[in-house]
């Protein structure tokens, strides 16, 4: 199986991304099934300090130490730390996966992410919207329909130029088989922008997190090479 084809199979089943598998990797195991939402308590973190630390681990300390930090509570995300640099760090849950992802309701998933100021204004509202619909008890089909309606009514902000985020945490849990994968940066573009993602030899990968289904955004990923603490990360 060609490497690009393996990657496209893998990435559909994780929170934000899954590893590109080398030829020597053992055969893929069938994904676990998460057909519906688990009890809300399984998605929450009872240790507020631990969630703050996990969120900050998404980016180097020079960025995350001065960032606003969000934590998820039963009624939605709230500000736990008010920052100074315009970045916003949080721990995303499984419902930020593509709507057809097997892990969409996986309660174990934790995706530390730090949005730059542009992404905090135009991508983070998508996280807020999906989360509010989840906490209202909607099914994934209902959530997708409401997102489509919100976009049609222009209730979500347009993508800001330069929007990007950091996902460089060693402590992330993005998938049952591959755990934290590799540190990477994510760049948000309009769906008609071509960066040569997934081409032979290209370091850029296309993440299907939004991909116009329904949010009108592409998510392009570039491996960072090091974790947020500066230690060297494994290659793909």
pLDDT for position 212: 64
What is the pLDDT of the chain when averaged over all its residues? 86
3-state secondary structure of 181: coil
DSSP string, 188-213: EE-TT----TT-TT-S-EEE-SSTTS
Q: Give just the sign of the alpha carbon dihedral 74, 49, 223, 120.
A: positive
* Residue bearing tokens 């997190």: 209
Q: Taking 90 as the threshold, does the pLDDT of residue 145 lie above it? A: yes
Report the residue count for the chain: 236
User: In 105-224, which residue ranges form alpha helices assigned H by DSSP?
Assistant: 117-122, 124-135, 140-152
Q: Taking a C-beta distance cutoff of 8 angstroms, is the pair 77, 84 a contact?
A: no
pLDDT band at 140 (very low <50, low <70, confident <90, very high): very high
pTM of the model: 0.84
Q: What is the pLDDT of residue 31?
A: 54
158 sits in the region (left: phi over 0; alpha: psi -120 to 50; else beta) called beta
Residues 5, 19: Cα–Cα separation, whole Å: 12
Stretch 71-89: mean pLDDT: 98
20-62 pLDDT, tens digit per residue, is 333 334 444 445 679 999 999 999 999 999 999 999 999 999 9
């Amino acid at each position: 199986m060609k490497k690009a084809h393996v990657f496209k199979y893998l990435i559909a089943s994780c929170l934000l991304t899954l590893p590109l598998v080398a030829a020597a990797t053992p055969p893929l195991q069938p994904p676990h099934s998460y057909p519906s939402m688990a009890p809300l308590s399984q998605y929450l973190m009872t240790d507020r300090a631990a969630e703050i630390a996990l969120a900050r681990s998404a980016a180097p300390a020079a960025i995350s130490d001065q960032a606003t930090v969000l934590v998820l509570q039963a009624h939605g995300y709230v500000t736990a730390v008010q920052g100074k640099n315009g970045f916003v760090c949080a721990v995303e849950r499984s419902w930020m996966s593509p709507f057809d992802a097997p892990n969409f309701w996986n309660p174990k998933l934790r995706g530390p992410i730090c949005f730059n100021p542009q992404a905090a204004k135009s991508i983070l509202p998508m996280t807020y919207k999906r989360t509010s619909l989840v906490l209202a008890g909607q099914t994934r089909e209902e959530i997708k329909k409401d997102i489509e309606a919100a976009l049609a009514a222009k209730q979500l902000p347009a993508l800001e130029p330069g929007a990007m985020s950091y996902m460089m945490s060693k402590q992330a849990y993005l998938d049952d088989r591959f755990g934290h994968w590799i540190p990477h940066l994510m760049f948000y573009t309009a769906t008609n922008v071509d960066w040569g993602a997934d081409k032979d030899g290209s370091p850029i990968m296309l993440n299907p997190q939004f991909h116009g289904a329904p949010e009108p955004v592409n998510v392009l990923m570039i491996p960072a090479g090091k974790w947020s603490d500066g230690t060297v990360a494994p290659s793909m």
